[in-house]
Chain A
Amino acid sequence: MRRCLREWLLLGTLSYLVAGCAFDVVHVKQAPTSFTSGEGKAFKLDREVKVNLGTGFPTTLKAGTVWTLAGSSQHGDVYRTRDQVVKVEASNIYEAFIVVADESLVGFYLPVEETFAPIKKPIELQIDSLDP
C-alpha cells in the first residue's frame, strides 16, 4: 500500500513538473534583423534544396518554384514564393522567407518574429533570373 502510494506520488510529481514546463525542447536559433520592403527581382529555382537548421526538421525548397524579392535585410536579399509553403520547424513552427546573398542561401527571415535564422554554411542556389 505504502509502495503504491509512493509510486503515485512520484508519478504525480513528474506530471506536475512536466505540465509546468514549456517542453520547448528544440529551438530555432534566431536573432532580430533589419528588414526593408522591396521588389523588382525574381528567380526560378532550378534544383531542389534541402536545408537543415539542426533542429531535426529539414526545410525543402522545391525545384521549379518562383521566388520574388520581398525586401532586404542586413544578411542579404529576402525572397518569398507563392508556389509552396516555406517553414522552419523546431518545437514550434515559423513561416519563413529565404535570405540570399551572392546567389547563395544564407538563412531564413521569419516575418512574424522579424528575426533572421542563419544556416551553418551558405548553400549555392541553381537559379534562373527572371524578368520582374
Chain B
Amino acid sequence: MKRSLPFLVLLACWLVTSGCASGPKFREVSGTFPALGTDEGRIYIYRTTTFGGAIQPSVRLDEQRVGKAIPKGFFFVDRSPGGYQIATSTEVDRTLSLTLEQGQIRFVRLDVSMGFMVGHVYPVLVDDAVGKKEIENCSYTGTSGK
C-alpha cells in the first residue's frame, strides 16, 4: 500500500490537472481573429479551472458541436443575432440560454461542480468585465463546426 501511494497521488494529480490547453494565449492571439461580420455577434467560451481536468465534454451551440471544454482553453463562435442555447453533457446535460445582438460580444465560462460519478461541466454567462479579465490567460483551442 505504501509503495502504491506515490502512484495514487500522481494519478490524482493527473486526474485533476490533465489535459490543459496549450495554444497561444488570448492576449497574444485575439488581435488576429477576424472582425465581426456586419450582422453578427461573438460568443467567447472559456474554461479557467483545471479542476476535473480529465473531464472535457463537447460544447454544443443549438445542438451543433462547436468546441471542447478544455481546461485553461477558449474558443469563439460568431453568429447572427438571436437566442441560443449552449449545452454540455457529462453524466447530466446542462444548458445556458442567452441572447446575442448585432456587434455584441458575450462571455461564457465553463464551470465545474461535483457530480455523482464524475464532475459536471456547465456553461455560465458572465459579465463582460469578468469575462475579459478571466479569458486573458486562456489558450486558444480552435472552434469546431459552424
Contacts and interface: CB of A to CB of B under 8 A. Distances in A.
Interface of A: 15, 18-19, 22-24, 84-85, 87, 91-95, 110-113
Contacts of B117: 15, 18-19
A95 B125 contact: yes
Contacts of B91: 18-19, 23
A79 to B, nearest CB: 14
Interface string B68-82: 000000000000000
Contact of A93 (B83, B84, B99, B123): B123
Q: Do most interface residues of chain B lie in helix, strand or loop, or is the interface mixed?
A: strand
A19 B98 CA distance: 26
B83 A111 contact: yes
B102 to A, nearest CB: 14
Interface residues of B, number: 20
Given A93-B123, A93-B124, A95-B125, A112 B83 contact: yes
Given A91-B94, A93-B123, 19 more contacts: A15-B117, A18-B91, A18-B117, A19-B91, A22-B92, A22-B93, A23-B91, A24-B93, A85-B126, A91-B92, A92-B97, A93-B97, A93-B122, A93-B124, A94-B97, A95-B97, A95-B98, A112-B83, A113-B97
B39 to A, nearest CB: 18
A85 B123 CA distance: 14
Nearest to B126: A85
A92 B96 contact: yes
17 contacts: A18-B91, A19-B91, A19-B117, A22-B92, A23-B91, A23-B92, A24-B93, A85-B125, A85-B127, A91-B92, A91-B94, A92-B94, A93-B94, A95-B97, A111-B99, A112-B83, A112-B99
